Structure 1
Amino acid sequence: MSFADLKVGGLYVILQARQEPPEPNEFYWGLYLHSDSIGGMSYHVVDTGSGLRPEHEYTGRIFDTPLLMGLFRIADITRPLHPFVDRVIRSYDSSLNCPGRSSNSKFWVLNVLALLIQPTSTGWLPVNCHNLPILEQEIRDWGNRMSQGRCIYQRPKPIGSSTICGLPEWKTQRELSIPLGPVWGIID
């Protein structure tokens, strides 16, 4: 897929394989806010061996991300609200390595999403989802379907959209819904 297939204002979960060939449920997680027709903000954390470090940057090459499995749209954010969403996403940056915090990319994304599914003081829901464990399962199931029998270097990269976040259709086709398995527990 190309930038033309991404919705401007779309907030996407980035899934990257940990190895080739990809294994089920083994992904690096990140976020991507597609801000204009040539790129957007990529948000992720990396393990430095001594803890996590945030790496957030504007990129026009999201499809060149190493080991990219695909992008999964979970929200549509209007341009005036991008700074608010950026602040929320960065809100854990200074406490990534505090005792009691989960220390991997998936839990960082899920902790950020836990904030983004809460209504703002004006009642706006940045991510219109009321059940984070179900959303996590939907993302993971989609990633597993996209990685089955696929070489991680294969092009084009898939783009999906959540069926539970109340998103309007965009240029991607909806995946068939598959039964959900067990859901995970509590977010740190």
Structure 2
Amino acid sequence: MSKERALAIKQLQEEALRSLPPNSLYIVLYIRSDPPEPNNFHWGFYSHYNETGGCKYHMRNLGDGWIADHGPTAGVFKSTFLCVLIQIASIPPEKRSLLDQIMRSHDGNTNSIPGMSCRVWLLVILQKLIQQGLVRCNSCEALEQECLEIGNQHSPGASKNHQPRPVVKSKLCD
């Protein structure tokens, strides 16, 4: 890749980050293979605070178990395998600590979640976010299906490194 192309991509990614609405919450899908396989994504959350970044929440598989990998980031658009960000909520700044608490609520017992995977963890946390009123959505299952459809639609572009990666607002969440 040329220096000019790399610089152009960096600028597009920074512009995409600045254009996200402050205090917005996303489900983030990453492709796992190239070419991408339908319905095969790594799942996580991204809580966007402001134009300089936010916090990522996801689980990583270390072969014999899962560990939490949460933390601040200014590089949500920089991941090579990023497929799409799906906006699911606006989180007022005064609710940020509650959001963080819920996101971390299974960090100590992640591997005891039945059928544990990054997707299963995300759906467990999503249900808690809905119960606490942070995400307004009637059905986790319907939202999961919507995310899969959106991911499948955008995975070819991720595979071809189209920049910046798309941001889509869920039609199922208020």
Partner of 1:55: 69
Of 98, 105, 123, the match for 1:84: 98
Query: After superposition, what is the alpha-carbon deviation per residue over 1:72-106, rounded to whole angstroms, capped at 9, x for unaligned?
Result: 000000111011011001101111112x5222101
Of 90, 101, 104, the match for 2:114: 101
Partner of 1:134: 142
TM-score by length of 2: 0.87
SS at match of 1:94: coil
Deviation at 1:147, TM superposition (A): 1.4
Equivalent pairs counted in the alignment come to: 160
**1: distance between equivalents of 2:97 and 2:104?**
11
Provide closer, same or farther for how the CA distance between residues 45 and 21 of structure 1 changes in structure 2, counting only shifts above 3 A.
Answer: same
Segments of 4+ in structure 1 off by > 3 A? none
SS at match of 2:54: strand
Partner of 1:178: none
Deviation at 1:6, TM superposition (A): 1.1
TM-score by length of 1: 0.81
Partner of 1:183: none
**1: distance between equivalents of 2:57 and 2:160?**
21
Deviation at 1:149, TM superposition (A): 5.7
Is the 8 Å Cα contact of residues 74 and 162 (structure 1) preserved in structure 2? Answer: yes
Partner of 1:172: none
Greater helix content = 2
Q: Structure 2: state its 5+ residue gaps.
A: 1-12
What letter is aligned with 1:134? A
Provide closer, same or farther for how the CA distance between residues 73 and 103 of structure 1 changes in structure 2, counting only shifts above 3 A.
Answer: same
Provide closer, same or farther for how the CA distance between residues 139 and 128 of structure 1 changes in structure 2, counting only shifts above 3 A.
Answer: same
Aligned pair 1:144/2:167, yes or no? no
Identical residues among aligned pairs (%): 34
Q: Structure 1: state its 5+ residue gaps.
A: 167-188
Provide closer, same or farther for how the CA distance between residues 22 and 96 of structure 1 changes in structure 2, counting only shifts above 3 A.
Answer: same
Partner of 2:170: 162
